[in-house]
Structure 1
Amino acid sequence: MRILMGIFVLAIYGGITFYLGWNLRTWLLAIQQFRWPIAYWIGLYAISFGYFIGKLHPLLTPFSIVGSYWMFFLQYGLILCVIANLLIAFTPLTTKLVGTWVISVLIVLLIVGTYFAYSPVIRNATIEIDKPGEDMRVVVASDFHLGVLSGKGHLEKFVQLSNEKNPDLVLLPGDIVDDSPKRFINKGMGDVMQQLQATYGVYGVPGNHEYYGNEMKQFREAMEKANVQILMDETILVGERFYLTGREDLTNKNRLPLSKLKPEDNALPWFVMNHTPNDLDEPANLGVDFHVSGHTHKGQMWPNHLITERIFELDYGQRGKNDMHALVSSGFGFWGPPTRIGSRSELWVIDIQFAK
């Protein structure tokens, strides 16, 4: 059944690639620039499967880069090609004019999307927790996907922005690296991460992509050297002030229920990191005070947010549920194409006010 499903998906994907290639070919013919048809189609399909080809060997990494950008053209090219075909079929507009318009729109979207991806913004929120304690500031950033396109320079921006806010605590709720930690290690990103400053330290949890890389041991070791404590179904007492729980990702089918990780002392605040915001009822009913997640990217590229909104109770932003404050970040990085349309790369600065 899996083989049949895989064949079906490949057939659909190949068909969409052909549709986009046929439209591009038609426009190139209209402007008299189409050359070498065999090389054209081989190159197009090599690009369309480039992301997967690039995973086969480090020397093939350039294919991953090209393949990542292809995902952008796949989504918006498909939308625009359908519109273009309708315009050509039902209006006097020519293929040359409409095709030029489509290419121009794609270029503008690519420029804008790249800017939104690589120019992170700071979101601010203030929450109140009805438990005694001294007010504190927490920086939250998820989904860095550190690797080829989200690299050392992007991480340096985060460290600078975070340190400028003088946080008491930094939380990194998952997908810190993009599958494998090798590039994080080889490019010296750990040296950058070590520069993060926080009164009570820097903590993280694995996301689904850490599991996809199947290098969890190497990931944890790299984070430990970078002064990031990874919590995996663990609850710790931090600074005698609050409890912090880090959950395994949903990818791990053996992860513990949150009830098994609940601290015995209910008087102190309880913070929870769970990469995927799959269930807010359980933590709210158990008495969690502050719950942070990522994973959704807020769809990353419009109109994908319409899908994440239907899948998750809270796919983005900050919301109260019972006495719990829940936060879902769109992420500091990105997955696939280094572009964002309808979302921004971001970090959150949360000022927590406790009952005096």
Structure 2
Amino acid sequence: MKRIAGAVIAILIYSAIVFYFGWSVATWVELYLPINNWIFGIIWGLIAFGFIIGRVSHKLRVFSIVGSFWMIVMQYGLILFPIASILTWIFPAHLNLIGWIVFGIFIIIIIFGMYNAYTPVVRELSIVMPKKGSKLESIKVVVASDFHLGLLSNRAHLTRFVKKANAEKPDLVLLAGDLVDDDPIWFVQKGMSEVMKQLTSTYGIYGVLGNHEYYGKKIPLLVEEMEASNVRMLLDETILVADSFYLTGREDMTNKNRKQLSELAPEERGLPWFVMDHTPSNLLIPEKEAVDFHVSGHTHLGQMWPNHLFTRRIFELDYGYRRKGSLHAIVSSGFGFWGPPIRLGSQSELWSVNIKLEDGEV
């Protein structure tokens, strides 16, 4: 009962915000064009609830796209519309100018944000760790996460990743979860498997599940598609790679039945140990278990400013590289995006990590 009441309250608050935004826009537009309030209200409501409508059926995907862009309005409208209302109250004669300024800011946000989202960069890092018993002198690892492959993070964007990753000539590729945007249907229908198959690596390409694969509830299909794309999915599994290092892929923490990291530890600890875990929930655990290299994603670095202020408080490491004792940890902001195809305060990326293995303690 409390859950239903909470949902009703949330819908009422959201609807009130949508009404306020719509009233503000209509007031400005009416300076230039006559508006039928009923028609405007219906269109505005369909846009505001488009993300939900698009989930009803894949045939309504246009609503999902419109709803994704609506998130930009919600994110920054909560800041801009109240400011605009106050300025209009103080300077009522300048409603037209205030409206154009707000409109211009939204356009700048969209243009700059889409550039950051669709123009990925390569973050380079060099680290040194104990060789232990490995026969390798070095390993180049490409790390990427949070592709959210679907309607907007599409085949063309995946192609950008494959080209940039292959240019690094990696020994190992680690895909740290949220590979598809909930449902792998668009990965299948748009033939993204053919693009993923072009990814090359000396010792293989490996992936793990993220929370969005669980939201989509089609994990068997996702795993099947990834395996067919030459991406080996590790689901609470530890394997020996090239007789030189161990690699563990953890189930996402969304799965309450996932194994503890200690249960996945290699029986023989004479080689370097790499771990993929989509959510960087607690770095103390891999540090305690003597993991050498730990990669995650999930946070998107907030994706849209100023959301990074929240991820920074939630996670010990919400982005970048950190060393904790013998543990080397990386959290990527992701190659794709969730919802709107924009990034402010972050940029789509992949990591190219040169790992040098040396004898003795490092």
CA distance in 2, matches of 1:92, 1:212: 47
CA contact (8 A) 1:87 1:93 kept: no
Superposed CA RMSD in Å reads: 1.1
2:281 maps to amino acid:
N
Matches of 2:84 and 2:127, distance apart in 1: 48
Name the TM-score, length of structure 1 as normaliser.
Answer: 0.98
Superposition pairs for residues 163-312 of structure 1, below 5 Å? Answer: 163-312=166-315
* Contact residue 153 and residue 341 of structure 2 kept, 8 A: yes
Aligned to 1:117: 117
Match of 1:330 in 2: 333
Contact 1:143 1:331 in 2 (8 A): yes
Contact 1:54 1:64 survives alignment (8 Å): yes
Measure how far apart 1:15 and its partner are.
Answer: 1.3
Cα drift, residue 321 of structure 1: 1.0
SS of match in other structure, 1:94:
helix
| 1:87 aligned residue | 87
Residues 130-177 of structure 1: CA deviation (Å, up to 9, x unaligned): 224411100001000001001100000000000000000000000000
Classify the secondary structure of the residue corresponding to 2:131: strand
Q: Deviations over 1:263-290 (max 9, x none)?
A: 1222200000000000100000100000
Instruction: Please tell me whether the aligned partners of residues 53 and 63 of structure 1 are also in contact (alpha carbons under 8 angstroms).
Output: yes
SS in 2 for 1:276: coil
Q: Is the partner of 1:179 in helix, strand or coil?
A: coil
Superposition deviation, residue 34 in structure 1: 4.0
Say whether the 8 Å CA contact 1:131–1:267 is kept in structure 2. no
Per-residue CA distance 1:73-117 (angstroms, 9 max, x = gap): 111122111221222234576111111100011011100101110
* Partners of 1:226 and 1:297 in 2: CA distance: 25
CA–CA distance in structure 1, aligned partners of residues 297 and 148 of structure 2: 12
Letter of the structure 2 residue corresponding to residue 298 of structure 1: L
The residue correspondences of 1:3-152 to structure 2 (distance < 5 A) are 3-29=4-30, 31-91=31-91, 94-132=94-132, 133-152=136-155
Structure 2 unaligned residues grouped into runs of 5+: none
Identical columns (%): 54
CA distance in 1, matches of 2:86, 2:320: 37
**Is contact 2:26-2:35 (8 Å) kept?**
no
Per-residue deviation, residues 210-266 of structure 1 (Å, max 9, x unmatched): 001100110100001000000111000011011000000111010111010011222
Alignment partners' CA distance in 2, 1:89 and 1:316: 41
Aligned length: 355
Distance 1:319 1:91 in 2: 50
Deviation string 1:12-42 (CA, Å, 9 cap, x unpaired) is 111111111111112112x232411101111
